[in-house]
Amino acid sequence: DAATTRFVANHPKSAELHQGALASLPGGNTRTALWTAPFPISIARGEGYKVWDEDGNEYNDFVSDLTAGLYGHSHPVLQQALVQAIYTIGTNLGGTTKYEQRYASLLCERFGLDLLRFSNSGTEANIHALAAARRFTGRRKVIAFRGAYHGSVLAFANGVAANNVDPEDWIVCQYNDVVGLEEAFQANKEVAAVILEAAQGSGGSIPANPEFLDAVRSLSQEAGALFILDEVMTSRLGPGGLKGVLQLKPDLVTLGKYLGGGMPFGAFGGRADILSVYDPRSSSSLAHSGTFQNNALMLNAGFIGASQVYTADVAEALNRRGDELRAALNKAFEGTIFCVTGRGSLMCVHAPKNGLRPQDIACKDDVAPFEDLDLKKLFWLEMLEAGFWLQLRGSIALNIQLPDEVLSAFVDAVRGFCKKNIG
């Protein structure tokens, strides 16, 4: 179609680089979520709230590295933190350092955790939280939810444990469905844990409702199963994450993304009695020895970012602006097949089924799969042409450097799209 033809014409260098990448990367790709057909745009650099592609096109960054880019690009405080670590500490010291304790203590206080351990990614944090839950309970089965994404080997987009090494250990329930969860617990007596995003991220920015959150807590407790709250994406939604905003009482919490200050990061923490399965003073403890999990760049930039940049005030302001943007977008989409779900600084454009309103969308099955929607692809292509870099599936993550004028300009661009293409 015409928009795709213009896309190809506007990105000759990206096309050429993609051709070259095919020789050494499967499909020219090393991050599945960044693949777009016919080829992905090759990003050359980022600064502030903008990115530029190899063809010189400039975009306002609404992808924000799938939420990890909360600080925007080239934040001066983080640049300084990284440079300081490189020149005065080193990168990997091969020994225990005081920087671990300093950052762990900040994160424990902020997210209400007794103890925590660092890892290299959110995926690893979840893998190790699950290992802790299995060791602590002596059980194997885990309940997850359709549409959930807990990392590359822990993805449940279509209700199955895709890529998982132990698919038989998983029970996949519908999100926001209390009865379904009760039935799963009745049918399975040996559940080690329930793992939950309190607002689904990759599943399409769909928040959990309060009754469902209460049920996850009470049903897991009754069954002797642990409640693992995956805050890898949602920790940005309040000063103490969604755990703080919604007063949740999980047994374990996993963290990731922006908390590495731009460096690879993951962490899992919570109840001291559970975390003690990783206490090396005990001969029966679980091993967890990742080479890079105490690297100095992450420990310094993460600590400085969390303590000096993403303070409680900044978190509250960003999420308030996100709520305002979502309301404005829903107004712009009124009368069209689209609407926007989400919470705070995270949101996603959807075509709901059966005329559902955004607040009534409870799970992935309430919205049309984006792959089926030519209009959604057109939306993505036209937003690119208007200078807005979004994720193909329609998800948006704000970064703290995006100014109000750019958010308003985006709403205007959405209004223009609706007028031109939807009537």
3-class secondary structure, 347: strand
Q: Respond yes or no on whether the N-terminal peptide bond of residue 352 is cis (omega within 30° of 0).
A: no
The reply on whether position 201 binds ligand PLP by CB under 6 A is yes
The reply on whether position 151 binds ligand PLP by CB under 6 A is yes
Token readout for 236 is 């940005």
The reply on whether position 65 binds ligand PLP by CB under 6 A is no
CB of 234 closer than 8 Å to CB of 199: yes
The reply on whether position 61 binds ligand PLP by CB under 6 A is no
CB of 146 closer than 8 Å to CB of 364: yes
Stretch that binds ligand PLP, among 131-139, 172-180, 195-203, 350-358 (CB under 6 A): 195-203
CA distances 409 to 35, 262, 288, Å, are 26, 27, 47
Burial 107-126 (b: 16+ CB within 10 A, else e): bbebbbbebbbbbbbbbbbb
Closest residue by beta carbon to ligand PLP:
122
Stretch that binds ligand PLP, among 147-155, 157-165, 315-323, 408-416 (CB under 6 A): 147-155
Min dist CB 122 to ligand PLP, Å, is: 2
Stretch that binds ligand PLP, among 146-154, 173-181, 271-279, 369-377 (CB under 6 A): 146-154
The reply on whether position 310 binds ligand PLP by CB under 6 A is no
Token readout for 327 is 């309301």
Please state the separation of Cα 228 from the chain's center in Å.
Answer: 16
CB of 262 closer than 8 Å to CB of 226: no
Please identify which residue in 239, 240, 241, 256 interacts with ligand PLP, judged by CB under 6 A.
256
The reply on whether position 43 binds ligand PLP by CB under 6 A is no
**Cβ-based nearer residue to ligand PLP, 238 or 417:** 238
Min dist CB 259 to ligand PLP, Å, is: 10
The reply on whether position 44 binds ligand PLP by CB under 6 A is no
Vertex 286: Cα angle to 285 and 289 (nearest 5): 120
Please identify which residue in 42, 64, 176, 202 interacts with ligand PLP, judged by CB under 6 A.
202
The reply on whether position 150 binds ligand PLP by CB under 6 A is yes
CA distances 96 to 92, 264, 285, 289, Å, are 10, 18, 18, 12
Interface residues toward ligand PLP, by CB under 6 A: 66, 121-123, 126, 149-151, 197, 201-202, 230, 232-233, 256, 266
